[in-house]
């Protein structure tokens, strides 16, 4: 009986000591991942503003996809890169992107969901006329491959007033 009580006491002490350490380690890993993802989007913004579509395209995994606000979608890193190349050679040629990641949810240690907002200024229509600044929302799924966070899927949305909701 005495041995069992001692064993339970020691086990309780070990659990009480280790569990908080494991939780803190998990929180530190989550914070580090969030910081890395935010840094990746800072690189994305920088590449956009330099119109470096090759660098932008390399941020997607090979089988990744991207969906524009109008529903146009691209699947595969090369197709996503080609879309950005086409856009930056024409309507986005002189644009400036401002992007803010609002939340990062680490679904697993190697999969994350990022939500944020963006603003693109300097868009020109195919006829050369300026287009009003575009404000939108983005949601991306990212995966960690070889220690680096990459975009697996991105969805862009332009908020619009819904006729069935009060102002």
Report d(CA 94, CA 89) in Å as an integer: 9
CA-closest candidate to residue 61, choices 131, 148, 156? 148
Instruction: Report the CATH number that the domain containing residue 145 is assigned in CATH.
Output: 3.10.450.50
Report d(CA 119, CA 156) in Å as an integer: 11
Report d(CA 74, CA 57) in Å as an integer: 11
In a domain, 15, yes or no: yes
In a domain, 164, yes or no: no
In a domain, 43, yes or no: yes
Domain count across the chain: 1
Q: What is the pLDDT of residue 29?
A: 82
Express each pLDDT in 19-28 by its tens digit.
Answer: 555 444 578 8
Q: Which domain holds residue 97?
A: 2-157
CA distances from 137 to 15, 63, 116 (A): 43, 23, 6
In a domain, 97, yes or no: yes
In a domain, 138, yes or no: yes
In a domain, 73, yes or no: yes
In a domain, 163, yes or no: no
- Is residue 58 within 8 A of residue 43, CB to CB? The reply is no
Express each pLDDT in 34-83 by its tens digit.
Answer: 999 999 999 999 999 999 999 999 999 999 999 999 999 999 999 999 99
Please tell me the total number of residues recorded for the chain in this structure: 167
In a domain, 167, yes or no: no
Residues 90-101 have a mean pLDDT of 96
Phi/psi of residue 147, nearest 5 degrees:
80, 5
Q: Which residue has the higher pLDDT, 11 or 155?
A: 155
Q: In terms of DSSP bridges, do strands 60-67 and 73-75 run parallel, antiparallel, or are they unpaired?
A: antiparallel
């Amino acid at each position: 009986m005495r041995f069992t009580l001692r064993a339970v006491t020691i086990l309780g002490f070990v659990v009480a000591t280790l569990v908080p350490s494991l939780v803190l380690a998990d929180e530190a890993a989550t914070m580090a991942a969030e910081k890395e993802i935010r840094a990746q989007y800072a690189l994305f913004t920088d590449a956009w503003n330099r119109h470096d579509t090759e660098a932008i395209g390399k941020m997607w995994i090979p089988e990744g996809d991207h969906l524009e606000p109008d529903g146009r979608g691209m699947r595969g890193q090369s197709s996503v890169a080609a879309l950005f190349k086409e856009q930056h050679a024409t309507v986005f040629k002189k644009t400036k992107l401002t992007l803010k990641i609002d939340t990062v949810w680490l679904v697993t240690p190697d999969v994350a969901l990022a939500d944020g907002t963006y603003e693109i200024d300097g868009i020109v229509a195919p006829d050369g006329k300026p287009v009003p600044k575009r404000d939108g929302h983005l949601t991306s799924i990212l995966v960690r491959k070889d220690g680096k966070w990459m975009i697996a899927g991105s969805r862009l949305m332009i908020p619009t007033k819904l006729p069935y909701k009060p102002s």
